[in-house]
Amino acid sequence: MRVVLLILAFAAIVAYELPGIIRRKERGELALFIALVVLAFTLSLLQTIGVPVPNPAKGIEFLTRMIFPNDLRSDL
């Protein structure tokens, strides 16, 4: 039941947003919108069916430390 509600919610969001993006012929925004909706739907679906989803903050911290190794204090 929760999966059906999730699908309906995402379908409503896409039905509301997509026609305007297509009408304005914004290809870059369309690609970004689709990518974000797919990512958000996937994460939401995994949480809904009970799959443990890793904390994205750890991945962001790892990437930030790779890019700026000396700019971040380890005690933060």
Q: At what angle do helices 2-23 and 27-48 cross, to 10 degrees?
A: 180
Q: Where are the domains of the chain?
A: 2-67
59 HSE (CA, 13 A, CB side): 4
One-letter amino acid at 26 equals E
pTM given for the model: 0.73
Q: What is the pLDDT of residues 48-70, one digit of tens each?
A: 999 998 888 998 999 998 998 87
Tell me if 48 sits within 8 A of 25, measured CB to CB.
Answer: no
Residue 39 or residue 76, greater confidence = 39
How many other β-carbons are positioned within 10 Å of the β-carbon of residue 61?
13
Q: Do you know the residue count of the chain? A: 76
Q: What is the mean pLDDT of the chain?
A: 91
Q: Which residue has the higher pLDDT, 20 or 71?
A: 20
Report pLDDT for 72: 57
